[in-house]
């Protein structure tokens, strides 16, 4: 429980139902009560005292002010809808592999090392700290097959105050998974998943901060028996579920070979009762029209992972097409298929990959900075069914936010408009980074332009503060 707090300054977020623009509120004040819930949002205030008089519960509130110079603003926390925490040490290391050989060469050996709880502690605490530093207040994590390490990840998220969905991965298929890293049977997969659910229930009975998420790794890694049992578990528990779909063409061929009785990859999940509104499908690059329609009709959600899809040369997901079809889309870093734990990078690569898709599929496929930011906040909130709590600044929602700071370049005091013909310009000395992040903004720029520069040039140095669950 915290002091009531009023946050004062510029607030920028996406409107709830309009991905195409940003709501930019200069001179705003947001009152957050001791439970971390927003009680008021005031716009265009000239002075704070009338606001504090209007809301007596905030008369002694702590005041947190963003710089009024136009180089700082409050923004919602990012929601990473697909990230593999045990793969964090490999972020940026993928050589020239594609999905199936990458799994065997880089991923399974790395994940299997988390059988050691001390390795798990080192990797998970750094992964959670690093994603928080990048402004990720909510993450849907894939863990490993190991129960103690998965439980530890839940504990670490809980103590760090990062909202998290923590999934023990299920992978019992003997022909696909290596002997050194797999579940020995479908029953073991389910039993160990249940142990992790029980642990999280113990540390967070109402799943306020940390929730279990049922995680069949992807169809090829699971036997039909395991998929069927996991589908039943989803139904019994009403827990969320996550997996991968249609990421890579060889993977799709493998699914055809392993499940010849189904017409498509999406139908495999549907046949086992896994295609529900609580399913988060990672990637969804090469879907057929029929699969897209099936996913839409089941209200399953999609996590778009553009940095990963570029790194592993998986392809460019047709996000405009998914959105126009009425499917809910959020963004994921997919570390370490994705090279970066930064959701800002996921936002940036969403915009860039959409430009590549536009080169073949048409101009309308381009996603704007506003749309990409929407997907990283409001879109992600819908994917994890928390759209009434996080992803924007509205009364009744939680204060789930980051303070963004950009470097303001100010004019020299005695700058002259003209130079004499014979005047020599002083030698320009580069005095190095100021430590305030890599984005320079100038006095004449609009907020829209400053935000675009943050998206294309920014990094975690621009995330000055992060507030999530308290
Ligand atoms: N498909 C199955 N497992 C994985 C994984 O760990 N990462 C990615 N990107 N795709 C997968
Ligand atoms: Zn993944």
Mean pLDDT, residues 140-156: 98
pLDDT given for residue 435 in this prediction:
61
Cα–chain center distance at 407 = 25
Locate the ligand 1 atom nearest the alpha carbon of residue 314 and give its number.
9
Res 468 pLDDT > 90: no
Res 339 pLDDT > 70: yes
- Which ligand is nearest to the Cα of residue 337, counting in written order? 1
Locate the ligand 1 atom nearest the alpha carbon of residue 308 and give its number.
9
> Does residue 414 or residue 70 have the better pLDDT?
70
Half-sphere exposure of 370 (CA within 13 A, CB side): 16
* Residue 168 banded pLDDT, cuts 50, 70, 90: very high
Q: Which of 133, 136, 135, 73 is nearest to 405 (CA)?
A: 73
CATH 2.30.40.10 fits 1-77+399-470, yes or no: yes
Cβ contacts of 367 within 8 Å, gap of 6 or more: 319, 320, 350, 351, 354, 375
Of the listed ranges 22-26, 68-72, 74-78, 425-429, the one predicted with least confidence: 425-429
Spans of all domains in the chain: 1-77+399-470, 78-383
Element holding 361 (H helix, E strand)? helix 343-361
Ligand 2 centroid to Cα of residue 309, in Å, is: 10
Backbone angles phi, psi at 176, to 5 degrees: -110, -40
Ligand 2 centroid to Cα of residue 400, in Å, is: 25
* Residue 68 banded pLDDT, cuts 50, 70, 90: confident
Half-sphere exposure of 2 (CA within 13 A, CB side): 18
Backbone angles phi, psi at 77, to 5 degrees: -60, 150
Ligand 1 atom 11, closest CA? 244
What pLDDT digit, counting tens, does each position of 251-267 carry? 999 999 999 999 999 99
Rounded CA gap, 438 and 103, in Å? 34
Ligand 2 centroid to Cα of residue 186, in Å, is: 21
Mean pLDDT, residues 145-155: 98
Rounded CA gap, 151 and 146, in Å? 9
Rounded CA gap, 388 and 361, in Å? 34
Locate the ligand 1 atom nearest the alpha carbon of residue 99 and give its number.
10
pLDDT given for residue 185 in this prediction:
98
Rounded CA gap, 310 and 304, in Å? 12
Res 470 pLDDT > 70: no
Overall residue count recorded for the chain in this entry: 470
Cβ contacts of 100 within 8 Å, gap of 6 or more: 248, 250, 251, 254
> Does residue 348 or residue 410 have the better pLDDT?
348
pLDDT given for residue 431 in this prediction:
61
Element holding 349 (H helix, E strand)? helix 343-361
**Residue 53 corresponds to which tokens in the numbers above?**
């008089």
Helix (H, G, I), strand (E, B) or coil at 34: coil
Do the Cβ atoms of 214 and 237 come closer than 8 Å?
yes
Rounded CA gap, 78 and 347, in Å? 10
Backbone angles phi, psi at 149, to 5 degrees: -70, -40
> Which of 218, 245, 250, 314 is the pocket-test mutation for ligand 1 (most atoms within 8 Å of CB)?
218
Res 292 pLDDT > 80: yes
Locate the ligand 1 atom nearest the alpha carbon of residue 251 and give its number.
1
ipTM of the complex: 0.99
Ligand 2 centroid to Cα of residue 137, in Å, is: 19
Res 384 pLDDT > 60: yes
Ligand 1 atom 3, closest CA? 217
Rounded CA gap, 438 and 457, in Å? 7
Locate the ligand 1 atom nearest the alpha carbon of residue 337 and give its number.
9
Helices assigned H by DSSP within 30-163: 49-54, 99-102, 108-112, 117-133, 147-160
What pLDDT digit, counting tens, does each position of 386-409 carry? 999 999 999 999 999 999 999 998
pLDDT given for residue 235 in this prediction:
98
pLDDT given for residue 159 in this prediction:
96
- Which ligand is nearest to the Cα of residue 281, counting in written order? 2
Mean pLDDT (the chain, rounded)? 95
Query: 336: cis peptide before it, omega within 30°?
Result: yes
14, 302, 305, 353, 383 from 319: Cα distances, Å: 18, 10, 11, 10, 15
Rounded CA gap, 328 and 317, in Å? 14
pLDDT given for residue 411 in this prediction:
77
> Which of 91, 141, 282 is the pocket-test mutation for ligand 1 (most atoms within 8 Å of CB)?
282
What pLDDT digit, counting tens, does each position of 364-373 carry? 999 999 999 9
Ligand 1 centroid to Cα of residue 103, in Å, is: 7
Rounded CA gap, 336 and 257, in Å? 27
44, 187, 461, 464 from 403: Cα distances, Å: 19, 46, 11, 5
Of the listed ranges 116-120, 270-274, 315-319, 466-470, the one predicted with least confidence: 466-470
Mean pLDDT, residues 117-126: 98
Cα–chain center distance at 272 = 27
Res 441 pLDDT > 70: yes
Per-residue burial over 187-207, b if 16 or more Cβ lie within 10 Å, else e, is eebbebbeebbebbeeebeee
pLDDT given for residue 70 in this prediction:
86
What pLDDT digit, counting tens, does each position of 180-228 carry? 999 999 999 999 999 999 999 999 999 999 999 999 999 999 999 999 9
Do the Cβ atoms of 439 and 449 come closer than 8 Å?
no
Do the Cβ atoms of 215 and 239 come closer than 8 Å?
no
Task: Give me the residues paired with residue 13 across strands.
Answer: 23
Pocket lined around ligand 1, Cβ cut-off 6 Å: 84, 99, 103, 107, 217-218, 244, 247, 308, 334, 337
pLDDT given for residue 173 in this prediction:
98
Furthest-apart CA atoms within the chain: distance in Å: 85
Ligand 1 atom 8, closest CA? 337
Ligand 1 centroid to Cα of residue 269, in Å, is: 16
Helix (H, G, I), strand (E, B) or coil at 222: coil
- Which ligand is nearest to the Cα of residue 170, counting in written order? 1
Of the listed ranges 235-239, 253-257, 431-435, the one predicted with least confidence: 431-435
- Which ligand is nearest to the Cα of residue 173, counting in written order? 1
CATH of the domain spanning 78-383: 3.20.20.140
pLDDT given for residue 420 in this prediction:
74
Ligand 1 centroid to Cα of residue 145, in Å, is: 14
pLDDT given for residue 428 in this prediction:
64
Do the Cβ atoms of 455 and 348 come closer than 8 Å?
yes
Rounded CA gap, 9 and 6, in Å? 10
Res 1 pLDDT > 80: no
Locate the ligand 1 atom nearest the alpha carbon of residue 338 and give its number.
9
Locate the ligand 1 atom nearest the alpha carbon of residue 84 and give its number.
6
């Amino acid at each position: 429980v915290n002091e009531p707090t009023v946050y004062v300054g510029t607030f920028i977020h996406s409107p709830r139902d309009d991905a195409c623009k940003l709501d930019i509120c200069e001179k705003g004040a947001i009152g957050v009560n001791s439970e971390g819930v927003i009680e008021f949002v005031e716009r265009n205030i000239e002075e704070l005292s009338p606001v504090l008089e209007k809301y007596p519960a905030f008369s002694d509130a702590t005041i947190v002010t963003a710089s009024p110079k136009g180089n700082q603003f409050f923004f919602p926390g990012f929601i990473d809808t697909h990230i593999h925490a045990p793969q964090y040490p490999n972020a940026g290391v993928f050589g020239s592999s594609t999905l199936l050989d990458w799994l065997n060469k880089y991923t399974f050996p790395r994940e299997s090392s988390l059988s050691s709880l001390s390795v798990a502690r080192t990797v998970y605490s750094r992964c959670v700290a690093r994603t928080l530093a990048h402004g990720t207040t909510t993450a849907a994590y894939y863990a490993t097959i190991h129960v103690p390490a998965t439980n530890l990840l839940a504990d670490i998220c809980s103590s760090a105050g990062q909202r998290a969905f923590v999934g023990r991965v299920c992978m019992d298929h003997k022909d696909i998974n290596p002997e050194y890293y797999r579940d020995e049977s479908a029953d073991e997969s389910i039993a160990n998943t249940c142990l992790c659910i029980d642990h999280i229930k113990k540390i967070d009975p109402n799943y306020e901060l940390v929730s279990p998420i049922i995680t069949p790794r992807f169809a090829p890694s699971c036997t039909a028996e395991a998929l069927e049992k996991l589908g039943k578990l989803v139904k019994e528990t009403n827990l969320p579920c996550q997996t991968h779909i249609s990421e890579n063409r060889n993977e799709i061929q493998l699914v055809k070979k392993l499940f010849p009785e189904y017409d498509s990859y999406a139908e495999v999940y549907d046949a086992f009762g896994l295609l529900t509104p609580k399913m988060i499908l990672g990637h969804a690059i090469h879907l057929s029209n029929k699969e897209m329609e099936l996913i839409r009709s089941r209200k399953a959600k999609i996590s778009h992972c553009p940095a990963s899809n570029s790194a592993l040369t998986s392809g460019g997901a047709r996000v405009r097409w998914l959105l126009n079809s009425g499917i809910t889309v959020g963004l994921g870093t997919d570390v370490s298929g994705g090279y970066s734990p930064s959701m800002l990078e996921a936002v940036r690569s969403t915009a860039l990959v959409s430009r590549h898709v536009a080169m073949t599929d048409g101009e309308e496929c381009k996603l704007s900075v506003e749309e990409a930011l929407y997907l990283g906040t409001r879109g992600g909130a819908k994917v994890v069914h928390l759209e009434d709590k996080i992803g924007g600044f509205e009364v009744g929602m939680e204060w789930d936010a980051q303070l963004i700071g950009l470097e303001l370049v100010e004019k020299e005091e005695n700058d002259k408009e003209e130079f004499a013909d014979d005047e020599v310009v002083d030698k320009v000395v580069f005095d190095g980074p100021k430590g305030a992040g890599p984005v320079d903004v100038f006095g004449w720029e609009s907020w829209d332009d400053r935000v675009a520069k943050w998206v294309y040039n920014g990094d975690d140095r621009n995330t000055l503060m992060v507030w999530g669950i308290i």
